[in-house]
Amino acid sequence: MEPGTSFIGIGVALGVSIGTALGIATDNLALGISLGVAIGAGLGVALDQSSGKRRDGDGGASTGDSSPRADHGDGGSDGGGGDGGGGGD
C-alpha cells in the first residue's frame, strides 16, 4: 500500500452501503447507516493494523502511565466512599 493511503475509507464506504441496505430492509435507515459507518471504520482500522501500516511516531509503545496509583483512593476525602455520602459517624 502506498504511503498516505488507508483502508478506513474503503471500510466506511462498504459499511455505509451495507448499513443502508440493512436499514432499508428493517425500515430503520438512520440506525443502519450509523452502524455501517461505525463497523466500517472499525474494520478499516483493523485492516490498516493487520497490513503493518503504522502512523508516524507510532512505535507501538504507550507513553501514558497506565499503572494504578496509590493516591487515587476511594474518591472521597473523608473515607466515606466516592458517592459524596460521607462517612458513618
37-50 pLDDT, tens digit per residue, is 999 999 999 999 98
Q: Model-level pTM?
A: 0.54
Q: What pLDDT score was predicted for residue 40?
A: 94
Per-residue model confidence (pLDDT) at position 87: 65
For 24, the grid coordinates are 432499508
User: Contact, 86 vs 80, CB < 8 A?
Assistant: yes
CA 68 from centre of chain: 22
